[in-house]
């Protein structure tokens, strides 16, 4: 296994000198404390992500530099300087504190499209000392309800369209005291809603950012596991050190860059690298509101002269599918550095980038819990296509066996990281035992299987659990199964990830029906719509197979392992001695 081909990056001179001159030397000399001195702390122990991302630039020549260039689906453009974002986020912080009465540590959630207000709101919430919780706008009502209920969010910032989608669940959330609606298109609001625009108009532009401690909670992102509902991974303000460092040395951001991160703000990449990483580095970023389209994406890169581009394997595979002729119709010469994250990046995609775009994709690995990039390919290192690269300086990653002892190079095992990096999650919200169970024998166990080669490059093998990665979005099979069995026709359901050439995996459900129901196309579509409305399109089974009964352990737990083997045509193993849980 493994790919021996090596891509020599950016052959010839680098047009811009990489921030990381020598990986080995930097690893030897790296100290997080030294790096964090580059940030504008309030005191030895006090730092605030919102301050670092925008206000820290006000004292510099970046004050009137563009921080955000936003283009809507319809082509409208809005531009915000660091000074603009500072002023607007101050106003938002005042709305929260003075008009709503939000206090330090309260949770403010965002269920909003990719509009400028989500950036302003998130920065303002952090400056007010409250905790942000961004939710993917494609979520359905149940997915939103679970997260708002679990976090006991006090405020939800949303839009008229998204509010309509979740209207039915709002009365069942006693802790949700306020719904603020961003009303860009002047829709009719209900009298209970706070109008974002009206509230902002009344709010002062002066706000003294809360001097949060580095350990105060700042960010909550829900992530799916094998069992149970999604859990809220919580990060502290200290995480900004990790965002800053990795944006500088992995994304190689330079002052003149025009940076584009295609991730949605509802996911961790969209906050760590769609806000905090680039802005703590004082870099201009462009944001495209619209959905994926190969033509529009190339147009966007050409129009704005994107230099650094951070995207995901599914998108790259979709670009590849759109054909090599398409990029030729655009001038993409501005692109200097391209990175990818979220799922395994096939070697062909790295080579395709090199051949067709003139830039190979630099894969990197991290997850919601790690808060920032842990393993990466760097501009100064050859890429081994198929590898996620080497640990970030300051990060010690290893492969451990099931007793959590480190394995030698070449052996497959559990991917683990030595705890203590700045952006490490601090807990799963109100699930401290679950959090602690992730740390074994001095390692944080990531839940991924990988191996390391003799040069210290890591290769992703698979997930250690049943979690499905579809187009970079983690879907917990349990969540989907729970919704499926709420459908009146469904008796039992088992959900697996089925390999897919574009999305890596898609959700496949095995379903047995209650007496009196017949499996036909109409029922299949009805079940799909049922899941889509409640969870999201990513979580909706692309395929449903009706079977008489599902394989179970003696204690009744559905054996997804057998369903997966059946799907892949693999030997089923000994099924006569079904294990107990
Ligand atoms: P999330 O927490 O939603 O960001 O998902 C993190 C998970 O996505 C990881 O634990 C991996 O399973 C997967 N993942 C992220 N980056 C990569 C990568 N570069 N290669 C393979 N899998 C990845």
Q: Is 342 in the pocket of ligand 1 (CB under 6 A)?
A: yes
pTM, two decimals, is 0.93
Task: Tell me what pLDDT residue 437 has.
Answer: 97
C-alpha of residue 448 to centroid of ligand 1, in Å: 8
pLDDT digits (tens, 9 = 90+) for 168-189: 999 999 999 999 999 999 999 9
Task: Tell me what pLDDT residue 577 has.
Answer: 41
Q: Which residues pair with 506 in a beta bridge?
A: 498
Q: Is 368 in the pocket of ligand 1 (CB under 6 A)?
A: yes
End-to-end CA distance of the chain: 33
Q: Is 339 in the pocket of ligand 1 (CB under 6 A)?
A: no
Q: Per-domain residue ranges for the chain?
A: 23-395, 468-568
**Nearest alpha carbon, ligand 1 atom 19:** 365
Q: Is 305 left (phi over 0), alpha (psi -120 to 50) or beta?
A: left
User: Which top CATH class is 23-395?
Assistant: alpha beta
Q: Is 388 in the pocket of ligand 1 (CB under 6 A)?
A: yes
Q: Is 367 in the pocket of ligand 1 (CB under 6 A)?
A: yes
Q: Is residue 477 pLDDT above 60, yes or no?
A: yes
The confidence band for 497, taking pLDDT boundaries of 50, 70 and 90, is very high
Percent of the chain residues topping a pLDDT of 70: 96
Which CATH entry fits the domain spanning 468-568: 3.30.300.30, 3.30.460.10, 3.30.565.10, 3.90.1150.10?
A: 3.30.300.30
CA separation, residue 427 to residues 32, 107, 234, 236, 370 (Å): 21, 15, 6, 10, 11
C-alpha of residue 125 to centroid of ligand 1, in Å: 27
Could you give the 3-state DSSP secondary structure of residue 284?
Answer: strand
Note whether 42 and 240 are within 8 A (CB).
no
Could you give the 3-state DSSP secondary structure of residue 575?
Answer: coil
Between vectors from CA 48 to CA 47 and to CA 53, what angle results, nearest 5°? 120
For 96-105, b/e burial (b = at least 16 CB within 10 A) is bbebbebeee
Cα 13 from Cα 11, distance rounded (Å): 7
CA atoms lying within 13 Å on the CB side of residue 352: 19
Handedness of CA 539, 545, 549, 553 (dihedral sign): negative
C-alpha of residue 343 to centroid of ligand 1, in Å: 5
The confidence band for 397, taking pLDDT boundaries of 50, 70 and 90, is very high
Do 23-395 and 468-568 agree at the fold level?
no
Ligand 1 atom at minimal distance to the Cα of residue 472: 8
Task: Tell me what pLDDT residue 573 has.
Answer: 63
> Could you tell me where the beta strands, DSSP code E, fall in 224-334?
231-236, 258-261, 284-288, 308-311
Could you give the 3-state DSSP secondary structure of residue 326?
Answer: helix
C-alpha of residue 365 to centroid of ligand 1, in Å: 6
Give the torsion through C-alpha atoms of 123, 125, 129, 133, to 10 deg.
-100
Ligand 1 atom at minimal distance to the Cα of residue 446: 10
pLDDT digits (tens, 9 = 90+) for 427-462: 999 999 999 999 999 999 999 999 999 999 999 999
Which burial class, exposed, middle or buried, applies to 519 when counting CB atoms under 10 A from its CB (0-12, 13-18, 19+)? middle
The confidence band for 539, taking pLDDT boundaries of 50, 70 and 90, is very high
**Residue 31 CB partners (closer than 8 Å, separation 6+):** 394
**Which own/partner contact pairs does 463-466 have at CB distance under 8 Å and 24+ positions apart?**
464/414, 465/225, 465/226, 466/226, 466/496, 466/497, 466/560
Cα 381 from Cα 385, distance rounded (Å): 12
Q: Is 341 in the pocket of ligand 1 (CB under 6 A)?
A: yes
Note whether 484 and 509 are within 8 A (CB).
yes
Which residue, chain included where needed, has tokens 């905090």?
276
Task: Tell me what pLDDT residue 298 has.
Answer: 98
């Amino acid at each position: 296994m493994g790919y021996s081909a090596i891509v020599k990056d950016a052959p010839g001179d680098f047009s811009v000198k990489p921030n990381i001159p020598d990986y080995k030397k930097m690893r030897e000399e790296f100290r997080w404390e030294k790096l964090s001195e580059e940030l504008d702390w309030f005191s030895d122990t006090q730092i605030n992500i919102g301050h670092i991302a925008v206000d820290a630039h006000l004292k510099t020549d970046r004050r009137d530099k563009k921080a955000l260039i936003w283009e809507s689906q319809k082509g409208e453009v809005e531009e915000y300087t660091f000074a603009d974002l500072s002023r607007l986020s101050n106003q938002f912080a005042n709305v929260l504190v003075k008009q709503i009465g939000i206090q330090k540590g309260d949770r403010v959630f965002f269920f909003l499209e990719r509009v400028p207000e989500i950036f302003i709101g998130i920065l303002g919430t952090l400056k007010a000392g409250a905790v942000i919780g961004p939710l993917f706008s494609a979520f359905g009502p149940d997915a939103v309800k679970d997260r708002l209920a679990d976090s006991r969010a006090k405020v939800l910032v949303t839009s008229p369209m998204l509010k309509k989608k979740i209207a039915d669940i709002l009365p069942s959330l006693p802790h949700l005291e306020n719904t603020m609606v961003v009303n860009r298109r002047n829709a009719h609001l209900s009298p209970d809603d706070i109008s974002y625009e009206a509230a902002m108009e009344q709010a002062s532009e002066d706000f003294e950012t809360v001097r949060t401690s580095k350990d105060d909670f700042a960010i909550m992102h829900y992530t799916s596991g094998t069992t149970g509902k999604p859990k809220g991974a919580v990060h502290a303000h200290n995480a900004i050190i990790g965002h800053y460092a990795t944006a500088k040395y992995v994304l190689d951001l330079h002052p003149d860059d025009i940076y584009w991160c295609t991730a949605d703000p509802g996911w961790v990449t969209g906050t760590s690298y769609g806000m905090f990483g680039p802005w703590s580095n004082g870099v201009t970023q462009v944001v495209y509101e619209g959905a994926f389209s190969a033509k529009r994406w190339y147009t966007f890169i050409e129009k704005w002269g994107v230099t650094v581009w951070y995207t995901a394997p599914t998108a790259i595979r979709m670009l590849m599918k759109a054909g090599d002729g398409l990029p030729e119709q655009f001038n993409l010469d501005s692109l200097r550095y391209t990175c990818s994250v979220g799922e395994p990046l096939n070697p062909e995609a790295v080579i395709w980038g090199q051949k067709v775009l003139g830039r190979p994709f630099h894969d990197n690995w991290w997850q919601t819990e790690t808060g920032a990039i842990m393993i990466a390919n760097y501009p100064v290192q050859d890429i081994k296509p198929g590898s996620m690269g080497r640990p970030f300086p300051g990060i010690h990653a290893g492969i451990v066996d099931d007793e959590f002892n480190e394995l030698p190079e070449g052996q497959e095992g559990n991917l683990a990281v030595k705890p203590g990096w700045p952006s490490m999650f601090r807990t799963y919200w109100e699930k401290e035992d679950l959090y602690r169970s992730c740390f074994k024998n001095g390692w944080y166990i990531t839940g991924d299987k990988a191996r390391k080669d003799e040069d210290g490059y890591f290769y992703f093998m698979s997930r250690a659990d049943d979690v499905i990665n579809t187009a970079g979005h983690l879907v917990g099979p349990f969540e989907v199964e729970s919704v499926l069995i709420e459908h009146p026709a469904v008796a039992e359901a088992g959900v697996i990830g089925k390999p897919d050439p574009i999305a890596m995996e898609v959700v496949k459900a095995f379903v047995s029906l209650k007496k009196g129901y017949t499996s036909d196309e109409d029922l299949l579509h009805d079940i799909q719509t049922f899941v889509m409305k409640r969870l999201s399109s990513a979580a909706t089974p692309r395929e449903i197979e009706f079977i008489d009964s599902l394989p179970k352990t003696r204690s009744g737990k559905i054996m997804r392992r057998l369903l997966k083997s059946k799907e892949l045509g693999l030997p089923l193993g000994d099924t006569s001695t079904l294990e107990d849980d």
